Amino acid sequence: MIDPELAAVFVGSSIRLAAPLLLAATGELVSERAGVLNMSVEGLMLAGAFAGATASWATGSPLLGLLCGVLCVLPIAWLQAFLSITLRANQIVTGIGINILVLGATTLGYRAIFGSRSRAEIPGLDKWAPPGLSEIPHLGEQVFRQAWLLYAAIVLIVLVGWVMRATALGLAIHAAGTSPQAASHSGLKVSRIRYGAVLFTGFMSALAGCFLSIGDIHTFTEGMTGGAGYLAIAAVIFGNWRLGRTVMACCLFGAATALQFQLPAMGIEVPSALLIALPYVLALLAVGGLVGRQVAPAALTRPLPAQS
């Protein structure tokens, strides 16, 4: 029989580990729906985690850390947009290049600032639970008491879903990624829409990175994202560019990651290397199309004509 306490810990860990993926994948979904494959999500998350942790440590205020994390990531997202949209460079190459640049910059910055502290304690975001839910036996403390940024993420995701499905802005974003020339002829500024989508990805990725460093473990380590940005991109593909399915994919990846810690606690002996690889195996299945037919936006990765 499964121990209710262990089950609650697993559910709570799955939700917590899925939260940064949910934020980053939602931003990436908007970008890809607008026609830009933002491969720099990994770097944007890492930059947000570093900037948020450093500012929180320096000021003692997690809120200022969160704000600084967002403000530091937006210029990097703008660089990605400039290279991909204005200069019409290869979106995959530029994204990977930014990831490498950010990894080197954050490693250098971490060693310069925290070099003498192997694991600096950083003020983190407060935890919160909806009224009444924290009193539920077993589930209350483990599942519902999370960093408040997680609940803000849920609100943001619902808002994005509404915008994409029920507003003129959502229709314009879909048009920019499906038929940009027709959208341009109808009077839409496709390049502006794509710029906005990439900057929104930067905003959401910054929140995801800050969740990792000041919302979850309250510290920063070199390369702490550990491929989470790539998992977010895979979740969009897994979800077939639909928000609801993308959310489910993120939850699946979060649960797969949580198994690394929960199975040994339950006395189930599984090779640790297999558990570590499990989320990436699921991502590979998604990218390979083995979870169903994938239909990407028609103009994804295609540069705009000069006049757009």
| Domain ranges across the chain | 4-287
Q: What is the CATH number of domain 4-287?
A: 1.10.3470
Angle at 65 between CA 60 and CA 69, to 5 degrees: 160
CA–CA distance, 237 with 197 (Å, rounded to integer)? 17
Strand locations in the chain, DSSP E?
A: 127-128, 146-147
Q: Which pLDDT belongs to residue 85? A: 94
The answer, as to whether pTM is greater than 0.85, is: yes
Pull the structure tokens for residue 40.
């720099």
Cβ contact 194:36 at 8 Å: yes
**What is the rounded average pLDDT of the residues 237-247?**
91
Cβ contact 147:127 at 8 Å: yes
Q: Which pLDDT belongs to residue 170? A: 95
- Residues across the chain: 308
Q: Which pLDDT belongs to residue 238? A: 86
Q: Which pLDDT belongs to residue 308? A: 53
CA–CA distance, 119 with 115 (Å, rounded to integer)? 9
Above 70 in pLDDT, residue 267? no
**What is the rounded average pLDDT of the residues 55-62?**
93
Q: Which pLDDT belongs to residue 265? A: 66
Angle at 141 between CA 134 and CA 155, to 5 degrees: 65
DSSP H/E element including 113: helix 91-114
CB burial class (10 A; 0-12, 13-18, 19+) of residue 125? buried
Above 90 in pLDDT, residue 261? no
pLDDT digits over 99-121, tens only?
999 999 999 999 898 876 656 67
